[in-house]
């Protein structure tokens, strides 16, 4: 019998998740059905429980429902509890069990770390700058700090939000927060977690931001490099967009559902060719 999974979002028609998980399943010859479901903005929980009642085993969750997904879980991973958001839902134990308790995790941060390592980026003892203080950034801080960087600075247009975020994670490592004016380079790794790339804009950053052999990472991606990545390349940084993070976080979800980890490289290449 085919096991059912889905991605919830609003909108969700643009999601690459069905193609990614279909490719994963074909690669390891697994029998799953993965679809996209556009949940009503005012009834995500209802959409989720209807999916479960129809035999759904698990789901990915994208904007704007990650916080609502967090609230409906019976059990949460440590990193999901830290993030205050969930992008991966699992029902029971994915077998014939009648257990319908919901387990929630966030795989965004571990997806980012896996992608950085795939590109050979050294995180231990690195000086890291993360731009932004929204949900996307909150979801990646715990896995980044787990790698043992020398320091991590969260910089945001509203300094108080960055400072509050740093306070929430201070027990995990050397982390601070402040406004963009507090940015004092150089950094070994700069991660853009703001939405400025969507508007073709840049945060206000100094020209001496990057250390020698530094890496610039944008969580956004597209057929062409983002404004942030073009700016970083002009200043000598290695540049990476967020397409690999998308694939790697999906692979972590797939592993949690199916117990097997797919090879992400051919799936990433397939998506890159389709951009």
What are the binding residues for NADP(+)? 132-136, 156-161, 219, 242
**In 3D, which of 64, 114, 68 has the Cα closest to residue 89?**
68
Kindly tell me the burial class for residue 18, based on how many C-beta atoms sit within 10 Å of its own C-beta (0-12, 13-18, 19 or more). Answer: middle
* Binding-site positions for shikimate: 15-17, 62, 87, 108, 221, 249
DSSP 62: -
Q: Give Cα 15 distance to the centre of its chain.
A: 14
Active site residue 66: yes
Rounded to the nearest 10 degrees, the angle between the axes of helix 108-118 and helix 243-258 is: 120
The DSSP code sequence of 195-264 is SGGGGT------TT-EEEEEEEEES---SS--HHHHHHHHTT-EEE-THHHHHHHHHHHHHHHHS-PPPH
Q: Which of 66, 78, 101, 117 is catalytic?
A: 66
Residues with catalytic function: 66
């Amino acid at each position: 019998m085919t096991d059912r999974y889905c991605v919830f979002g609003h909108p969700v028609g643009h999601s690459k998740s069905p193609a990614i998980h279909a490719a994963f399943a074909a690669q390891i010859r697994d029998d799953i059905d993965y679809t996209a479901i556009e949940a009503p903005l005012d009834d995500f929980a209802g959409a989720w429980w209807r999916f479960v009642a129809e035999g759904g085993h698990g789901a990915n969750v994208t904007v704007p429902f990650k916080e609502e997904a967090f609230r409906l879980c019976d059990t949460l991973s440590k990193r999901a509890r830290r993030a205050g958001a969930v992008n991966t839902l699992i029902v029971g134990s994915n077998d014939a069990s009648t257990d319908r308790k919901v387990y929630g995790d966030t795989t965004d941060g571990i997806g980012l770390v896996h992608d950085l390592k795939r590109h050979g980026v050294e995180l231990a003892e690195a000086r890291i700058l993360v731009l932004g203080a929204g949900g996307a950034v909150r979801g990646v801080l715990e896995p980044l700090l787990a790698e043992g960087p020398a320091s991590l600075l969260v910089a945001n247009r509203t300094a108080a939000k960055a400072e509050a975020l740093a306070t929430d994670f201070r027990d995990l490592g050397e982390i601070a927060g402040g406004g963009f004016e507090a940015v004092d380079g150089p950094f070994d790794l700069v991660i853009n977690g703001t939405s400025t790339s969507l508007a073709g804009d840049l945060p206000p950053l100094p020209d001496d931001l990057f250390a020698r052999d530094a890496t610039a990472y944008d969580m956004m991606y597209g057929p062409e490099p983002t404004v942030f990545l073009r700016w970083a390349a002009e200043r000598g940084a290695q540049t990476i967009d967020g397409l690999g993070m998308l694939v790697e976080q999906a692979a972590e979800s797939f592993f949690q559902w199916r117990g097997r980890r797919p090879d992400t490289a051919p799936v990433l290449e397939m998506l890159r060719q389709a951009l």
